[in-house]
Amino acid sequence: MIEKFHLLGVDAGAVELPRQFTCPFCYEPHPLALMAVEQVQQYVAGRVDWTDEIAAGKMLGVLVAQDDEGQLGYLAAFSGNLAGSVRHDYFVPPVYDLLDPQGEFKQGEAQITAINHEVERLEQSPELVVMQRREKEELQKISDEIGNFKAMMAQHKQERDARRDAGNLTAEEKEALLNQSRFEKAELKRIRQRHETELAKITDEMGVFCQRIDSLKARRKAMSEALQEQIFRLFVVSNARGEHRDLVEVFKPLGTLPPAGAGECCAPRLLNYAYNNNLRPVCMAEFWWGASPVGEVRHHGHFYPACRSKCKPILDFMLQGLDVEENVLGQPMEDQVLNIVYDDQWLTVLNKPSGMLTVPGKLLEDSLLTRYQEAHPEAAGPIVVHRLDQETSGLVVFAKDKATHKALQQQFESHTIRKRYIALLDGIVPHDEGTIDLPIRPDVDDRPRQRVDYEFGKPAVTRYRVIERKDGVTLIALEPLTGRTHQLRVHCSHPQGLNCPIVGDRLYGTAACRLMLHAESITFRHPATGEKITLECEADF
């Protein structure tokens, strides 16, 4: 029996196995994965020694697999570390153990820590403190003495000007006034030179001291970069073809080293253990357990896709050799007739279906824009005025010429265009109406997700009004006063917002047949006629 392989207690011949392995970036958990998740949740609930840490929030994952005898079982994993360790009996081991005290990482980290302590000692040393105080005092003396001397020079100049204006000066008196001016200018120069000489002595002493610090910092940076690459060389992952590759090689086509934390998530750990133990992957799922992290949106018990920045390059390699479900978000939609809500010689307003990109993406050319251009070859210059998320449906405005595009863009920038969205939320919103004010920025470690950040986030404000509450869901109208990426999705799902994710939100809630968010209404001033136009298109949910 393979050590970390937990039998599901299900006869493989008595259940319907998925035809393809789970696409980790867009999926609904298979019933077998749900069975495994339930067992993991029961196990975690029984570990009272982990209660506080688990309650604070942890990403967990399962991979259902078959062994050589055809038995169905599952592997379990957690992201990062748990209870100060990356090794626990119930869970698969890490791809590489960063916490091994005898490992390369800990030994290299100890060397870098020693340099940190030496830098800290030098920066806080009494000698440097004295030199910094002397430098500050000398600069103050320079400022005071030169300031006082300049004030005296200004007073003497006024007196000389007054005597010249009074007239009746002899040649000798005029020469004396001129000599006074020359002497004071020369004396000011001598004062500056004297202080600059004294300041240079202090600066030179500090320079020798600071050079030692800078040298240590440069050495620390070089050691850190070398250690990072060395460690990522030790993160060796496999795929279903039996190929092996370290993370430096995995990320090499992207022209970058792996980001911090790469290889420490659930999915790479699960797949790597399965391959290394001759287990055939059947399906998988990752779910959040516990409180949402500060700034992020994670709901207890909800399933989430693998992160893109750290995991996608790794999983793109590790899934090679498996028959994997297609990522429906990366597939073109079936041919549809453009749903035109309004059209004239200057602009067009379309009803974008859920699942279609507004503009072509990196992996998918098909979009509302490409289809519009095919149908309207007369449209010239910038066309796209604003965008909707791929999974959001509703009204999108396209311009047919440069002047119209510029005028509409100015209305968006000045916030004179009003938009109203309809959404179905998973949960009951207690207040009938209100305003959400949560600043947002991109989650650089997990794009395209956004996170709340009061220090670096951009202002994001949304008004809301409840339309109906029924059967555990809330139908709501949303009016964004700003236009941040994923603003409505984050404001609805975040604990400091409405704490009710939009139904079908695979990033901030639970995946479903579609995201129940629709741009229902838009009001703007027509760029050519000046007429105020309001257009509406009802949601189909």
Amino acid in position 100: D
Please name the helix (run of DSSP H) or strand (run of DSSP E) that holds residue 517, with its range, or none.
strand 517-525
| Cα 381 to Cα 348, 413, 541, distances in angstroms | 14, 19, 35
Characterize the bridge pairing of strands 461-470 and 433-437.
antiparallel
Report the half-sphere exposure of 171 (CA within 13 A, side-chain side): 0
Amino acid in position 247: L
Q: Could you tell me where the beta strands, DSSP code E, fall in 123-243?
A: 236-238
DSSP state of 401: S
How many H helices and E strands in the chain? 11, 17
Cβ neighbours around 335 below 10 Å, total: 7
Amino acid in position 257: L
Report the SS3 class of residue 352. strand
pLDDT above 70: residue 450: yes
Query: 324-337, pLDDT tens digit by residue?
Result: 998 877 677 766 67
Report the SS3 class of residue 529. coil
Contact (CB, 8 A) for 243 and 169: no
The Cα–Cα gap between 133 and 192 comes to 20
Q: Of 451, 50, 94, 124, give the one whose Cα is nearest residue 268.
A: 94
Query: 281-329, pLDDT tens digit by residue?
Result: 999 999 999 998 888 889 999 999 998 888 999 999 999 999 999 887 7
The Cα–Cα gap between 113 and 119 comes to 10
The Cα–Cα gap between 58 and 39 comes to 16
- Residues with catalytic annotation? 389
DSSP notation for 92-135:
PPPSS-TT-TTSHHHHHHHHHHHHHHHHHHHHT-HHHHHHHHHH
Mean pLDDT for 45-55 is 94
Kindly report the average pLDDT of the chain as a whole number.
93
Contact (CB, 8 A) for 468 and 474: yes
Cβ neighbours around 304 below 10 Å, total: 25
Query: 135-189, pLDDT tens digit by residue?
Result: 899 899 999 999 999 999 999 999 999 999 888 889 898 999 999 999 999 999 9
The Cα–Cα gap between 261 and 95 comes to 12
> Is the alpha carbon torsion for 28, 34, 40, 42 positive or negative?
positive
Query: 182-210, pLDDT tens digit by residue?
Result: 999 999 999 999 888 888 888 888 888 88
pLDDT at 330: 66
350: which strand partners?
340, 396
Cβ neighbours around 460 below 10 Å, total: 25
Phi-psi region of 110 (alpha: psi -120 to 50; beta: other; left: phi over 0): alpha
| Angle at 79 (CA atoms; ends 75, 80), nearest 5 degrees | 130
pLDDT at 353: 94
pTM of the entire predicted model: 0.74
| Cα 220 to Cα 120, 232, 312, distances in angstroms | 13, 18, 30
Query: 226-257, pLDDT tens digit by residue?
Result: 999 999 999 999 999 999 999 999 999 988 88
The Cα–Cα gap between 517 and 541 comes to 9
Mean pLDDT for 254-269 is 93
Ramachandran angles phi, psi of 501, nearest 5°: -65, 155
